[in-house]
Structure 1
C-alpha cells in the first residue's frame, strides 16, 4: 500500500495538498504520485545454442513471445488513497527473434581473428483500455487507443588480437550496425494517425586497446571504444494513456552514441590473489530525456521522449579477487563515479533553461559488489552482496528533488549437477527482504528455480 513520510500536525500521513517543510518551503503533493502500476507478464522463451570448440565456432538462436504483458494505473485526478474505481490498462505483448554466430582463427602468425554477426528483430503492439476498476484487468469498458512498431538490427563485427612483441598486445575491432525502424502506427479515439514511415541508421563502432605486460605479475592497458545504443521500443512507439499523463510516441527518436576511454592496471599479488584498478570516462551524445510540453496557458499538453542533452561520466574502479583453496574464493569490486550533463533551451517545455556541466544526480556515486563462492565437482554456491548509494533526481514538472534510497541487498545462487548434462539452479534475490524506494517501493525477496540440460 502507498505510504507517506509527510505528516500533519496530528501526525497523520498527508497524501494530497500543499504542505510547509521544516525550513518554510512549500511543496505540493498529489495522491496520484503515490500510486504505482498493477503489472503482469507471462513470456515464453525458446533458445538453441551450438558450440564447436574444436573449430572455435559458436552459434545461437532464440525466440521470445509475450502471452500476457500489461499494466493498469489509476487516473491522474484521483484524491482517495484507497482508490478502487476506474483506471487505465496498457496491454502490450511483444515478440523477439535473435540470431548470433561467431568464428575465431587462432595463431594466424601473431594474430587471433574473431569474426561474427548478429541479427535481431523486435515488434510490439499496444492496446489501451478504460477500466471500471483499475486493479482489475478484466473490467474493460472500451478500447480508446492502439499503437504498434517494429525494429531490426543487423550487425557484423571483426576483432584482431595482435601480439606485437613479448610485452605488447594490440586489440583492434570494428562493428557495423544497420538499425531499421519499421512503420509505426498510432490510433486514438477513432482518429488514425501514421506516426512513422520507417528510418534506417548505419553506424561504425571502432575499438582499440593496448595491453603492456610489465612483468610476469603486472599488466597495464589503455582502450577506446565507440558504442551505438538504440532506444527501447516503448520510447519510440508506445502511447501512454491518461494514467501516464498522455505520453505520445516519438518515431523520430535517434539512438544514443557513446565514446568510452579507459586506462588501468591488473596485478597478480600472489598465486591466489589478483588486484585491478581502472579509470574511465564516458561521453554520450543525443542522450534521451523525458520531456513535458506546455501550451501558451502553461498547461501540459503531452509528454515525449526526445534526444536532448549530452552526458559526461567519469569514475574509478577497484577489483580484488582471492582464492582461499580449491573450493572457496571471494571477490570485491568498488566504483566511484560522477556525471555531468549539458542541454540547450527548448521553448514551451520543462527544458526552458540552458545549462552546461551540471551534476547528474541520477548517477550513484558509490557502487559496491562483493561475494564469496564455493565450488566442488557437483555443487556451486554463491553469496553476493550489492550496495548502491542514493540518487537524487528533479521532478520533471516542478523541478523539486526527490530521492531514490541507497540500498544494500544480499543475493544467493546455487547450481547442482544432477547428472553429467543436467543442472538444477536455484536463486534468491534480496535474501534479507529489505524494503527501499527506487522510483517505487521495491518488491522485496524473490525466488527463481530452473533446470538446465545440455545436449
Structure 2
C-alpha cells in the first residue's frame, strides 16, 4: 500500500522572463508485508520518504542575436525504512538516508545569421549524502553509521544548427550529464520469492558523454519528418550485479528461499547507439497524427564486478520503442488515442532471462491509451482517460495493470 501527497507551486512572470517552481512529494507510507496462514507470523516493512525540489530560471535577451538562460535547481531527499514483526510489533531492522543536490547552469543561444546558430552552456552539479545509517538486526549496537560524502561535476554542452532552407535544417550537439544514485538503491534492499537485493551505501554518481546529429524536414504545410543519431559513453555505470556475491537463505510469505544475492554497483563503462525517427502530420484543422520510432543498441564494455557481462546488452534497456497516435481537437474538446510498443528488456547481466509471460520477466508489449479532455474555460478542464484500453496482459517484473480509468479535474489560478 502507498499513501502519497503531492504539492506543487509554479510562478511564471512573463514580463520579466522568470519562472519559479516549488514542490514536495511526501510519501507518508509505502509498505509491504506478509503473514503466514499457518502460524500467523509475519513482517511489515514501510519506507516513508520525502522529496523537496526548487527551481528558478531567468531568461535575458543580451542582444538581438543572443538569448541567455540561467538558473538554479535544488533537491532534497530523505528516507527512513523500518521492518517490524507483526506478532509483537518488535523492530527487526531499519535504515535511514538523506541526500541533497543543487545545480547551477547557464546557456546562451547565439544566431550568427539567418542560417547558423549555436547553443552553448555549462552546468555545475553538487551532490551530498549525509545522516545515513543501517541497523541490520534487532541489536542497535550493530548499527552502521556512514560518513557524509559528496561529489560534483561540470557538464558542458554545445549544439550547432544550420538552416538549409525554410523547410529543412541540420543540427549536431555534444554534452555531458551527471546522475546520482537514489536513496532506495543505497539504503533500501528488497526480498521476494524471485530475488534478494542488498542495499549499497557506497554508490557513486554516474556520468554520461553524449553526441548526436540530426536532420529535420518540413513537407508542405502539414508534415514534418525528423531523424536523429546519438551515441552515449557511460562511466561509473549504475549496474545491478547478480553473480559472485554469494547465496542467502531468507523467508518471504511464510516460505523459505535460497537465492544469489544481488545489488546495484558502479560497474564500469558502457555505450549506447541509437536512431530516432519522428513524423508529425496535420490532416486538417481538427485531426493530426504522429509516429516515432527508436532503435538503440547498448553494450557493457567493461565490468569490474563481473567479466561475463562484458559485451552483453545493458539491463533494462529496450532495443525497440515505437509510438503511434492520432489527435482530435475542436473548440473546447480534445482527444488522443495512442499506441505504444516496447521490445523485451533483460534483467540479468548475462542476458539469460529469455522467458516471457511469467513473474520477473520484462515482456515486449503493445498497449493503447485513450484520453478525452473538455476545457470549461481558460482556467479549468476535466479529463477522462482509459489506460491499457484493450486490457493487454504483460509482465514488467510484476504483472502490469490491466485496463484502468482516471478522471482528472484541473484548475489554474
TM-score (norm 1): 0.81
Q: 1:307 aligns with which of 263, 266, 275?
A: 266
The partner residue of 2:323 within 365, 369, 384 is: 369
In structure 2, the partner of 1:391 is 345
The SS at the match of 1:183 is: strand
Task: Report what 1:266 is aligned to.
Answer: 216
Is the 2:248–2:261 Cα contact (8 Å) retained in structure 1? no
Q: Which residue of 369, 377, 385 corresponds with 1:411?
A: 369
Pairing partner for 2:179 from 229, 242, 263 = 229
SS for the counterpart of 2:221 is: coil
Matches within 5 A, 1:207-246: 207-240=157-190
Provide the residue aligned with 2:85 in structure 1.
Answer: 130
Shift of residue 361, structure 1, vs aligned partner: 6.3
The farther-off stretch of 143-152 and 354-363 is: 354-363
In 1, Cα distance between the equivalents of 2:404 and 2:175? Answer: 36
Equivalent in the alignment of 1:176: 124
C-alpha separation between the residues in 2 aligned to 1:283 and 1:230? 16
In the alignment, is residue 190 of structure 1 matched against residue 143 of structure 2?
A: no
- Alignment partner of 2:282 out of 298, 320, 323: 323
User: Structure 1 CA distance, aligned partners of 2:369 and 2:353?
Assistant: 34
Give the 3 Å change call, closer, same or farther, for CA 317–428 of structure 1 in structure 2. same
Q: CA deviation at 1:420?
A: 2.8
Q: Map residues 54-453 of structure 1 onto 2, 5 A cutoff.
A: 54-72=15-33, 86-106=41-61, 108-131=63-86, 141-187=89-135, 188-191=137-140, 192-240=142-190, 247-291=197-241, 292-294=243-245, 302-346=261-305, 351=306, 353=307, 356-360=310-314, 362-394=316-348, 401-403=354-356, 404-453=362-411
Q: Distance in 2 between matches of 1:415 and 1:295?
A: 53
Q: State the SS of the aligned residue for 2:202.
A: coil
Distance across 2 between alignment mates of 1:261 and 1:390: 26
Is the partner of 2:186 in helix, strand or coil? Answer: helix
Deviations 1:10-46 (A, max 9, x none): xxxxxxxxxxxxxxxxxxxxxxxxxxxxxx1111111
Quick one: structure 1 residues 50 and 294, their matched pair in 2 at CA, closer, same or farther if it must change by over 3 Å? closer
Q: Distance in 1 between matches of 2:391 and 2:227?
A: 32
Given that residues 240 and 349 in structure 2 are in contact (C-alpha distance below 8 angstroms), is that contact kept between their aligned partners in structure 1?
A: no
Q: Relative to 1, partners in 2 of residues 1:436 and 1:256: Cα closer, same or farther, differing over 3 Å?
A: same
TM-score (norm 2): 0.88
Return closer, same or farther for 1:328/1:401 CA change in 2, 3 Å cut-off.
closer
Note the aligned Cα RMSD (angstroms): 2.7
How many residues get paired?
A: 397
**Does 332-341 or 63-72 show the bigger shift?**
63-72
Distance in 2 (alpha carbons) for counterparts of 1:45 and 1:165:
45
Which residue number in structure 2 is paired with residue 16 of structure 1?
none
Superposition deviation, residue 330 in structure 1: 0.6
Contact 1:147 1:239 (C-alpha < 8 Å) held by counterparts: no
Q: Call closer, same or farther: CA 1:109–1:276 in 2, change over 3 Å.
A: same
Query: In 1, Cα distance between the equivalents of 2:248 and 2:405?
Result: 50
Say if 2:346 and 2:353, in contact at 8 Å, map to a contact too: no
Gaps of 5+ in 2: 250-257, 357-361
Query: In 2, are the aligned partners of 1:289 and 1:308 still within 8 Å (CA)?
Result: yes
Partner Cα separation in structure 2 for residue 270 and residue 309 of structure 1: 48
Match of 2:255 in 1: none
Answer yes or no: is the 8 Å Cα contact 2:169–2:215 preserved in 1: yes
- Cα gap change, 1:65/1:297 in structure 2, threshold over 3 Å: closer, same or farther? closer
CA distance in 2, matches of 1:166, 1:84: 77
Gaps of 5+ in 1: 1-39, 76-81, 133-139
